[in-house]
Amino acid sequence: MDTCKRHGKKWTHNEVLALQREHELLELDLQTIANKHKRSVKSIIHKLYAEGFTESLLCEDKVEVENLDELNINTLTDRVWNLETSLTNITSMVKEMFHQMTSKKEKSLIKS
C-alpha cells in the first residue's frame, strides 16, 4: 500500500486532466499511470471508466477489477443512449434544414 498514498483521496481536476493526457496522448500503461498518481491500478481503471476516457482495456494490462462487467455494461448503455440522443438531434436538424430549403424554393418559384 506504500505506492498508493492517495488511496481514498478525492481526485483533483488537474489530476483528472493528467490522467486523460497520460492515457490518451502518452498511452502509458496502467501501472505507470498508477505509480505517477500514487493510486492503485484498480482506481485508475475505475476513474478512466467514470470519466469516459476509455472504451476498453488493453489485453496486455490483464488487470482484474471487481464489477468490470457492470462497468462495461454501464459504459455501453451510456454510449448507446448518447448515440440515440445525437441521432435524434441530427434527424431534427436535417428535417428543419430540408423544410427551410423547400420553403425557400417554393417562395422563389412563386416570385417567378
Count the neighbouring beta carbons within 10 Å of the beta carbon of residue 84.
10
Give the SS3 label for residue 53: coil
| Residue keyed to cell 502509458 | 28
| Averaged pLDDT score across all residues of the chain | 79
Summarised one tens digit per residue, pLDDT across range 61-106 is 444 455 555 556 666 677 788 888 889 999 999 999 999 988 877 7
Give the SS3 label for residue 27: coil
C-beta separation of 21 from 52 below 8 A? no
Lowest mean pLDDT among 4-18, 32-46, 53-67: 53-67
Distance spanning both ends of the chain, measured CA to CA: 81
pTM of the model: 0.49
Cα three-residue angle 101-82-66, rounded to 5 degrees: 170
Summarised one tens digit per residue, pLDDT across range 17-43 is 999 999 988 989 889 999 999 998 888
Contacts of 67 (CB under 8 A, 6+ apart): none
